[in-house]
Chain A
Amino acid sequence: MHKIAEIEVQHNIMKANEKIAKRIQESLNSHNVFSVDFVGAIGSGKTTLIEELITDMNGNIAVIAGDVISKFDAGRFKKHGIPVVGLNTGKECHLDAHLVEHVLDDIPLKDIDYLFIENVGNLICPVDFDLGAHMRVVVISVSEGDDTVEKHPLIFQSADLVVINKVDIADAVGADADKMVADAKALNPNVKIIKTSLKHKEGLKEVIFAIEEFLIQ
């Protein structure tokens, strides 16, 4: 005999990620480590920004380099002589808390002050996945076009700091950086927005100040 049964499951896929993210943050807190999730468009300057922070910020930094193929960016970070873990996401379009928790053991948490996580270049998917970081920095550049902010409202609403990079080439690509600032402001009135030209270290001090200020809060 066979019988048909309706079974309640009530399994929340999103909550699973949230739970792990919370665990990650607790572990970071217990070691007094401040963590920042850097998200942004492909090629906007995430790796460049983190490299500049490694050079200019006070305190010990470790980096998790997440990418579809992570060895390229991880190699750039390793040149700075800091702890680096590459995280291959393979076909995935974002990092999730589960992936980050897996590599957390490979990071010497007791020796560092900051854990910087470079997320996969993508302005959509990371929104759904909290990594347990304390702060989210969204990095875009003028070369993506000045309607980028408008087109991706959620990521800008989830940002604690917005960096608009490559302003040195704004004219060449016909983008209005101030429009991008205004769009971000409209979506997230309290967020700090900084225009940078990281290639020339312009705006870097302001970014460092904004991260340190956020840490204190």
Chain B
Amino acid sequence: MHELSMAEGILKAVIEKSEDNNATEVIEVVVEIGKMVLINPEQIKFLLDVLSEDTIVKGAIFTIEEIPIEIDCPECEYKGKIDDDELDHYAPVVNCPKCGNKRLHITNGKDCIVKNIIIEQED
């Protein structure tokens, strides 16, 4: 539900990096969003489109890659991926696939990362 502030954060990082690299146009932006982050990727994409209107990023393709959840179970010591296909964006309930424990250490899937950008540069 805080898609707006996340989208603003993403855009700010993209604009800074584009300017640092003398971009004349931003063609594509690749963002990785963890499945444990409580935001809806579709809504992020929509907001990025709207917010980038008056910036150098206008018209760029926004590609969202989801980061799968990985856990570390303190009960049975299972480490690794879980089945996260059916998770709800706002209430991801995760269980250990081996022992069912819910108190897990989440080792991956909680980040939102602007991974890279593809730009056109003047040379």
Contact = CB atoms under 8 A, between A and B. Distances in A.
Contact of B113 (A1, A12, A127, A152): A12
Nearest to B94: A153
Interface stretch (A36-44, A87-95, A101-109, A203-211): A87-95
A3 B113 contact: no
A9 B114 contact: yes
- How many chain B residues sit at the interface, stated as a range, is 35 or more
Nearest to B36: A154
Contact of B90 (A2, A124, A186): A124
A216 interface: no
Interface residues of A, number: 36
Contact of A9 (B13, B37, B122): B13
Given A3-B121, A157-B103, A187-B102, A124 B112 contact: no
Interface stretch (B3-11, B46-54, B57-65, B76-84): B3-11
A8 B14 CA distance: 10
Nearest to B13: A11
B69 to A, nearest CB: 12
A14 B17 contact: no
A185 to B, nearest CB: 11
Contacts of A187: 102-103
Contacts of A16: 9
B104 to A, nearest CB: 9
A15 B4 CA distance: 17
Given A9-B117, A12-B112, A122-B1, A2 B103 contact: no
A73 to B, nearest CB: 20
Interface in A1-47: 1-16
A10 B120 contact: no
Contacts of A186: 102
B44 to A, nearest CB: 11
Given A9-B17, A14-B37, A3 B112 contact: no
Interface string B104-123: 00000011111111111111
A128 interface: yes
A-B CB proximity, top 6 nearest: A11-B13, A13-B112, A11-B114, A9-B114, A13-B9, A12-B113
Interface of A: 1-16, 91-94, 96, 122, 124-125, 127-129, 151-154, 157, 186-189
